[in-house]
Amino acid sequence: MKKKKSNKSDTIKKRIKKNQKEWLEAFKTQWTITGACRRIGINPDTYYEWAKKYPEFKKRKEEIEKEQIDFVEAKLYEAINEKNLGAIIFFLKCRGGEKWKERTVQKLEGEIKTKFELTDEQFKQIIGRIIRRGERINNS
């Protein structure tokens, strides 16, 4: 009886290995976990179970992701070399330092509600301190 159980266990392990190999191949072209799962007909939960239970499988998936990033970076550099303005701007925003970072300025309007009462004079003093502190930070 033990032999049959062992054979069944071996068969299951072989099937899992085969499915994992198929999944990794699908992931190379599908680029997403869900896409690769759909391609080979498994539930994404199965992928997450494999990633937890089989470290070598997870490691190979991470290696493929690095290869995908290298591929995309190469395409970005090709686009830059072809003078693609969008690619150039994207590169500068990501790697051009502070000079090229996008800045968001938010303007706040409305009322400030407090749980305690301030006199008009106290409110003006607090707002004045906030403004002066902001000016000091901006000037540094």
| Inside any domain, residue 64 | yes
25 pLDDT higher than 80: yes
Cβ atoms of 92 and 102 within 8 Å: the answer is no
pLDDT in tens, 91-125: 888 888 777 877 778 888 888 776 778 788 988 89
Within a domain: residue 38?
Answer: yes
pLDDT of 1 above 60: no
Chain-centroid distance of CA 122 in Å reads: 46
> CA-CA distance, 92 to 75, in Å (whole number)?
16
Q: Which domain holds residue 34?
A: 2-71
Asked if the structure places residue 109 within a domain, the reply is: no
In this predicted structure, what is the pLDDT of residue 105?
80
pLDDT in tens, 53-100: 999 999 999 999 999 999 999 999 999 999 989 898 888 888 887 778
Structural domain includes residue 93:
no
In a domain, 121, yes or no: no
Q: Alpha carbon of 29 to those of 13, 39, 68: distances in Å? A: 25, 10, 9
Residue 131 confidence (pLDDT): 86
Query: pLDDT: is 122 or 134 the higher one?
Result: 122
Give the separation between CA 31 and CA 128, rounded to whole angstroms: 53
For the chain, how many structural domains are there in total?
1
Is residue 103 a part of any domain in this protein? no
Q: How many CA atoms lie within 13 A of 35 on its CB side?
A: 9
